[in-house]
Amino acid sequence: MVKIPKSKKPRVNSSRRYIGIFVFFVLACVVYSARLINIQISGQDYYSSGKAGTYQRREIIYAERGEIFDRNGVPLVINEYTENIILDYGSMPYYNSAKNLLISQAVSVIRSNGDSSLLTELNYPVSGNAPDFYFDESFFADQTKSARFKRILKEHGLSEEITCETFVSSFLRSYGLTDRNGKFIYTGDDVYEILARRFDMEYMRFSEETPYILAENADISLISSIKESFTYGVRTMVSSSRKYCFPGFASHILGRMGKIPAGRENEYLEKGYSLDSYIGISGAEAAFENYLRGQNGLKIVTEDEYGYIIDETIEKAPVSGQDVYLTIDINLQIVAEYALKNNIDYIVENAVLSGVPLSGEDAKAGALSILEIGTNDVLALASYPSFNLATFNRDYSRLIANDTSPLLNRALNGMYTPGSTFKIATAAAALSEGVVSATQLINDTGKYTYYSDYQPACWIYNRYGFGHGFQNIVQAIQNSCNYYFFEAGRLLTIERLVDYCRKFGLGEKTGIELGETSGVLDCPEYREKSESDAWQVGDVLQVAIGQGKSMFSPLQLANYIATFITGERRSTHILSSVHQYGTDVVTFEKSAGEILDTVEISSYNRSIILSAMKNVVDIGSAASVFADYDITVGGKTGTAQVNEKKSENAIFVGFAPYDSPKIVASVVIEQGSSGTTASRAIRDVFDYYFSVGSFKNAPEDRAEFVSKIISEYSGSSVS
C-alpha cells in the first residue's frame, strides 16, 4: 500500500499576525469614529439609512387653507405665497456646539444680505443688556407666553420663582454657550442672540413636525445665499399667508388668524394641529375653521452624504381646505360701512353747529345690519369704528387702547335698548290678543295715571307739556305715542308680551355662525335670574315702549322686523356654500335660514302695522330723510336714553320695497340723539341696493362709487 505523504503548511510568524490584527483594529476604529463624528456633528443621526451613502428624512407638506369669497364669487381672503428660511430639525446638528454655530452662521448670512428685518420676532422673556438683564413684564402679561414659559422651566427642572439672573445663567449652561467655568464660548452679542433664539425654538416646540421659521418672506438673493452656504440644518420652505382683497373692509366679518390660545393646546393637538399652527381666532376664519383647514401631507426626502436631495417621495398627499362662500355682497358691505361712518360724521357736525348740548356731538360708534327677507341671508354687517386686518398686528396696541372698542363687532355683540322700534312688537301682540283694535282710540292726556305710585309721561308731554290726544294704533306708531303703548302693554300683561317677543327672537340668538350676544328681554324671569331690581307691576309700561332693561343687538332688531313681515322666524346665516378648493364643485349649500318659530298674526293686523310703518317714513318722524323717495319704504325710528351725561342712542329699522319687501335693515348709532338722523345710513344703503336716489338715472355709477370708496380708504379701515 502506497502512503501519500501529508503536505506541510508554512509556519507564520505569530508577531506579524498580531501586528496585522492590531493595524486592522486601529483602522476600523478610525473609520467608525469618523463616521460617528459625522453623524453626531452633521446631524445625520436623525436620518434613517437608505441605500449606501444616502439618508432619508420625513418632511411635512403643508396643506393650502381654503379661501373666502362673497355671494357673487368675489375673492375676499386669498392665499399669498412666500418663501421662508427655516431650521430643519431632521438635519440639525446634535451637539450644542455645532448647533449654536449653525444658528449663528445662519443669522449672519441673513444679516449680511441686508435682510435682518426678515428675522422672526423672538418670544423671549428677558430685556436689557448684560449684565443688567430683567424680565419683560409685557411678555408675562400674555397668557400664552406665560404658560409656555412655565412649561419650559418645568422641562428644565427649574422653579417658576426663578430670578432673571438665574434664568440667564441656567440656560446659557443648558445650551452650551458657556464652558464649565462659566466663560463665554462666543462673543457676548452672539451668545445672547443664540440664547434668545434657542429659547424661542423651545417655545415654538421645534421638532420634526414643527420646523423653526428663522426668517420670513425671503427674496431670491437671500434664498440663493442660504442654499450656497448650507447643505443641512438650514433650508427654505414655501408657505402661504392670508391676503385681504379689500383691506379695511368687512374686518369683523372675516376675522383674523393667530396662534393657538393658551389653555387650548391639548384640544388642538388632539385634532392634529401642531403648536405653531395658525388657526381662525375670530369671524369667518374661526366659525368655518373645519372647512377652511386642510390636512397636511408627508414626503420622504432622500439626500446623499453631502446633503444634496436626490429623491423625494410623497408618503401622504396633502388635502387642501375648502373654499367658503359667504352670503354678504362685498360691494354692499363697503357701501354700508361708508354710509354708517358718514351718518355719524353728519350727526356730530350738525350737533356742533347747533350748539345744543347732548344733541349728538358725542356720537362715535354704531352698527348697521342688512338681511334678505325670506332667506335671512346676511347681506352686510357694518360696525364702526373698525380696523384693518392687513395691519392688525402692527395696530394692536393702538386698537386695544382705543376707548371706542374698534375690535367689538357691534352688529352682533353690541347691546342696545331698542327704544320705540320695540313698539312694533307691542302693537302686533296687542292686536293679535285683542286687547286693542285697529279703530280703537286711546286718549293721550300726557301723563299716564293708572298707577298711583308710578305715572310716566309721553315724550311729547315732557317736551311740550301736552299729550297727543286721541290716537288709534296707526297714529300711535306714526307719532310714537308712549301713552298709547303704556295702556296697550298694561292690558296685554308682561307674560303675553314676552311670549310674542320671544317668537320674534328678541332676547334670543339669531343663529348666525359668527359669535353673537343673546341680548336681554326684560321680564320678571330675567330680573330673578340676574338678581337685578325686583320686578314691579308697573315695569311693563317701560318694557312696552322699548325701555327698561331690554337690550338687543342690531342684527336681532333686523331679524325681528323680518319675522314680523313674514310671520316666520328664521335663523340668520352668513355661510352660503362650501366648494372644493379652487373649483366650482359645491360640497355644501345653504339656501335659507332654518325656521325656528312662527308668529300668529292675521294678514289684516299685519297690514295695519305695516301701513303705520309706511306713515313713519312718509309723514312721520323719518319723512325729512325719505321725502320724495323713489321707492316706498316702511320703518320705525327710536331713541333710547343712556345716561344724563350722554346723548341718546339713535335707532332705525326699515324695509323696502313696501309692497314686496326684499331687504330689511337696522342701524344703531351710539349717542346719535335722534332715530330720524340715524335713518340716513339706511337710505344710502337703499339707494345703492335698489339703484334709486343718486343712482336712479345712472345705475352703472354704483361700481364707480364703490371704487372711489375703496380708493379713498385703501390700506386703512373706514374708521
Q: How far is CA 495 from the centre of its chain?
A: 38
Residue 658: predicted pLDDT: 97
The DSSP code sequence of 469-499 is: EEE-HHHHHHHT-HHHHHHHHHHH-HHHHHH
Residue 7: predicted pLDDT: 39
Mean pLDDT of the chain: 90
pLDDT tier at 559, thresholds 50, 70, 90: very high
Contacts of 588 (CB under 8 A, 6+ apart): 291, 577, 578
Q: What is the pLDDT averaged over residues 170-178?
A: 93
Residue 18: predicted pLDDT: 56
Q: Which three cell numbers, joined as nine digits, stand for 288?
A: 368655518
Query: What SS3 state is found at 444?
Result: strand
Q: What is the pLDDT averaged over residues 407-434?
A: 98
User: Where do the structural domains in the chain lie, given as residue ranges?
Assistant: 330-712
Residue 312: predicted pLDDT: 87
pLDDT tier at 23, thresholds 50, 70, 90: low
Residue 561: predicted pLDDT: 98
Q: What is the pLDDT averaged over residues 139-154?
A: 91
Q: Report which of 493, 387, 331, 366 is spatially closest to residue 717, judged by C-alpha positions.
A: 387
Beta carbons of 627 and 642 less than 8 angstroms apart: no
Per-residue model confidence as pLDDT tens digits over 301-311: 887 876 677 88
- The CA distance from 75 to 70, in Å, is 7
**pLDDT over 50 (residue 55):** yes
Residue 719: predicted pLDDT: 61
**pLDDT over 50 (residue 40):** no
H helix or E strand, kind and range, residue 461: helix 459-464
Contacts of 54 (CB under 8 A, 6+ apart): 302, 303, 304, 305, 310
Q: Which three cell numbers, joined as nine digits, stand for 283?
A: 369671524
**pLDDT over 90 (residue 357):** yes
Q: Using alpha carbons only, what angle is made at residue 444 by residues 443 and 446, rounded to the nearest 5 degrees? A: 145
Residue 126: predicted pLDDT: 95
H helix or E strand, kind and range, residue 301: strand 297-304
- The CA distance from 345 to 528, in Å, is 41
**pLDDT over 50 (residue 8):** no
Checking DSSP bridges between strand 68-69 and strand 323-326, what pairing results, if any? Answer: parallel
Per-residue model confidence as pLDDT tens digits over 486-539: 999 999 999 999 999 999 999 999 999 999 999 999 999 999 999 888 999 999
Q: Bigger pLDDT: 44 or 376? A: 376
Q: pTM of this prediction?
A: 0.81
Beta carbons of 545 and 423 less than 8 angstroms apart: yes
pLDDT tier at 26, thresholds 50, 70, 90: low
**pLDDT over 80 (residue 345):** yes
- The CA distance from 121 to 455, in Å, is 64
**pLDDT over 60 (residue 12):** no
Residue 535: predicted pLDDT: 94
Residue length, the chain? 719
The DSSP code sequence of 224-239 is: HHHHHH-SSSEEEEEE
- The CA distance from 28 to 532, in Å, is 86
**CATH entry 3.40.710.10 includes domain 330-712:** yes
Q: Bridge-partner residues for 442, per DSSP?
A: 471
DSSP secondary structure code for residue 381 in this structure: E
Q: What are phi and psi of 397, to 5 degrees?
A: -60, -40
**Residue 73: what residue type?**
G
Residue 14: predicted pLDDT: 54
Per-residue model confidence as pLDDT tens digits over 617-675: 999 999 999 999 999 999 999 999 988 899 999 999 999 999 999 999 999 999 999 99
Residue 694: predicted pLDDT: 87
Q: At what angle do helices 96-112 and 220-229 cross, to 10 degrees?
A: 150
Per-residue model confidence as pLDDT tens digits over 212-247: 999 988 989 999 999 899 878 898 888 888 999 999
Residue 17: predicted pLDDT: 59
pLDDT tier at 705, thresholds 50, 70, 90: very high
Beta carbons of 705 and 339 less than 8 angstroms apart: no
Determine which of 79-93, 465-479, 599-613 has the lowest per-residue pLDDT on average: 79-93
Q: What is the pLDDT averaged over residues 17-24?
A: 58
Determine which of 287-301, 465-479, 657-671 has the lowest per-residue pLDDT on average: 287-301
Question: Most confidently modeled of 31-35, 105-109, 112-116?
Answer: 105-109
